[in-house]
Amino acid sequence: MLPCGVCDFLKIGELFECRAKSRVPQGAKSVIVYLFPYWLGEEFYKNSNISKYAVPADYHIIAREYLKKITEELKMEYPENQFEYFCDNSPVNEVKAAVLCGLGVKGKNGLLINEKYGSFCFIGEIVTDVKFNYSVPKTEECLNCGLCVKMCPGGALSGNCVDKTKCLSDITQRKGELCEEHISMIKNSGCVWGCDICQDVCPMNKNISVTPVKEFSESAVARFCEGDSIEGRAFSWRTRKVIERNLQYLKSQDNLI
Ligand code: B12
């Protein structure tokens, strides 16, 4: 069973500007948030050169399949009401929504940390005009150890927010040639897509459970090599050019590729 909770839509606050915003139901009252854990176990990532979130098949596709099915069932039960599902490309601040739904705490790295699955969870949600019973948010906070802030390679974390311009995950996704500083950040990380450093150092990610989502474990590929297919992978939206450019940066220093 996927971890799930409900929060008051009005508590989400300002919605992100995006195309999906127009799909939010009029008079929305509840956000039903689901977590899609993706941790596969330490062993799995030993030789990996991509971020853990990009190891399984594209989560957008898998999470949306689950959300679509749940939405259809809800529509059958509440034929007079509206239900719309979102994942990532969403007007909803998903970390905030998951916190409000009692699904975990927000770490200093800006991510939702669930008690059982750590921060290695994707977030998806259904917005509806039905008023369901709201879940109770956690009263605890993250451990406040500050390791994520300290170890972030770009100094992107301040403890309150993420400076996207300095976040290595964002840097790996940019198009065109990168500056020397950013190239060396990629080389040092040994990772050609995304970044997990702020999650890997988090003590709340120790002894977490592996994913119950079989679509993630069955599709997992821990490495990206030159010429590999990008179809159905989390990095495909950025085209092969970007990830292969990063691969060349690593190759040029004979790093792990
Ligand atoms: C844009 C984006 C990025 C950008 C910018 C990130 C950022 N935080 O700004 C980049 C490309 C850098 C990125 C990177 C990553 N991302 Co991203 N990203 C998003 C996206 C699409 C929007 C986030 C956003 O713009 N936030 C805006 C800022 C201002 O919000 P904020 O800093 O979190 O919060 C402010 C307020 O909302 C408020 N607030 C926040 N929470 C709460 C809670 C309560 C109760 C209250 C009252 C207030 C409050 O206070 C904050 C300060 O003003 C979300 C999906 C979504 N729709 O939410 C995924 C999402 C956050 N990303 C996700 C992932 C997996 C990642 C990576 C781990 C991928 C990787 N391994 O490389 C990294 C992690 C880097 C990091 N430490 O953030 C997951 C996170 C899952 C989780 N467990 O939390 C999400 C939710 C996508 C998903 N559907 O699963 N991401």
Of 111, 3, 106, 125, which is closest to residue 53 (Cα–Cα)? 111
Q: Each residue of 215-241: pLDDT tens digit?
A: 999 999 999 999 999 999 999 999 999
Nearest-atom index, ligand 1, CA of 112: 84
For ligand 1, atom 27: residue with the closest CA: 93
Which residue from 24, 111, 175 has its CB within 8 A of the most atoms of ligand 1, so it is best to mutate? 111
- The Cβ of residue 90 has, within 10 Å, a number of other Cβ atoms equal to 23
| Cα 33–Cα 34–Cα 35 angle in degrees, nearest 5 | 130
161 lines ligand 1 (CB under 6 A): yes
Q: Each residue of 136-193: pLDDT tens digit?
A: 999 999 999 999 999 999 999 998 889 999 999 999 999 999 999 999 999 999 999 9
Average pLDDT over residues 69-92: 98
Indicate the domain borders of the chain: 4-128, 147-206+227-251
Strands (E), the chain: 4-8, 30-37, 83-86, 105-106, 112-113, 121-128
Instruction: List the end-to-end C-alpha distance of the chain, in Å, as a whole number.
Output: 36
Residue 175 near residue 1 (C-beta atoms within 8 A): no
At 160 the pLDDT is 81
99 lines ligand 1 (CB under 6 A): yes
For the question of residue 228 being annotated catalytic, the response is no
Share of the chain above pLDDT 90, in %: 95
pTM: 0.95
